[in-house]
């Protein structure tokens, strides 16, 4: 290429378009994987101790790791909630036309970990001010939300939201809403960070997710520290 081409406006516009395209497809596998039956969400814990929580925090790949490392969490399942289309595919949700958002469903042993702790982990892993997406992933399919399964979860979620709101001057965009349905994503999305660690790491760094979490939450970023009160 000639120096004149590097200085030309169209060239830089092209670079910008390419970069934007990479970001828009950030939470998408680099190649089309063949769909496989979704993993089963039941039978991972005895019914007497099993409980379930559902959180939307942008790309579901990034919401599995914070919960998988918690003692008492039996499974995390990437999927979709919040829309009306029954059993949508990833491509349908990614188009932004189904009203679903990407979520992670957490199945946990209620005798080992409580819902309040899961909420603390949630807040410290999202940008609570951005209701139009999360980090580099834009669109309603990446909007943040806490999907509650019962009245107790709703009460606790609203309490933590109020605590977070008191900590900042900006409005909190995270919605608390009842879970109407959950649909597991295709198998190739499950445990993506474990099956494709290098690609996942590149995506997470390129999305600057951790940098933004650090900016908002400081030392509490990514963890389950108590929510600060003022």
Question: Quick one: which H or E segment has residue 134?
Answer: strand 133-134
Q: Are 216 and 128 in contact (CB under 8 A)?
A: yes
User: Catalytic pick from 59, 62, 136, 207?
Assistant: 59
Q: How far apart are CA 142 and CA 22, in angstroms?
A: 16
Whole-number Å distance between alpha carbons of 156 and 178: 13
Given the DSSP bridges, would you call strands 175-178 and 145-148 parallel, antiparallel or unpaired? parallel
Looking up tokens 């958002």 gives 101
Is 5 within 8 Å of 11 (Cβ atoms)? Answer: yes
Give catalytic status of residue 136 as yes or no. no
Question: Which segments of 22-100 are extended strands (E)?
Answer: 50-56, 73-81
Q: If you search the block for the tokens 């990833």, which residue do you land on?
A: 90
**Which residues are annotated as catalytic?**
59
């Amino acid at each position: 290429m000639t120096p004149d081409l590097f200085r030309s406006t169209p060239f830089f516009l092209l670079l910008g378009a390419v970069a934007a395209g990479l970001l828009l497809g950030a939470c998408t596998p680099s190649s089309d994987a063949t769909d496989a039956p979704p993993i089963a969400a039941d039978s991972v814990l005895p019914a007497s101790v099993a409980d379930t929580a559902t959180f939307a925090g942008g790309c579901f790949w990034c919401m599995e790791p914070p919960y998988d490392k918690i003692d008492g969490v039996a499974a995390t399942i990437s999927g979709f909630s919040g829309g009306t289309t029954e059993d949508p595919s990833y491509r349908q949700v990614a188009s932004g036309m189904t009203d679903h958002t990407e979520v992670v469903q957490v199945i946990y042993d209620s005798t080992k970990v409580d819902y309040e702790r899961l909420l603390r982990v949630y807040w410290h892993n999202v940008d609570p001010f951005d209701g139009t997406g999360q980090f580099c992933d834009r669109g309603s399919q990446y909007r943040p939300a806490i999907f509650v399964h019962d009245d107790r979860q709703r009460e606790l979620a609203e309490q933590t939201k109020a605590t977070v709101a008191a900590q900042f001057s900006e409005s909190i965009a995270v919605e608390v809403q009842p879970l109407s349905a959950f649909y597991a994503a295709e198998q190739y999305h499950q445990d993506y960070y474990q099956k494709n660690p290098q690609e996942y790491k590149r995506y997470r760094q390129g999305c600057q997710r951790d940098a933004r979490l650090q900016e908002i939450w400081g030392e509490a970023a990514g963890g389950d520290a108590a929510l600060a009160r003022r």
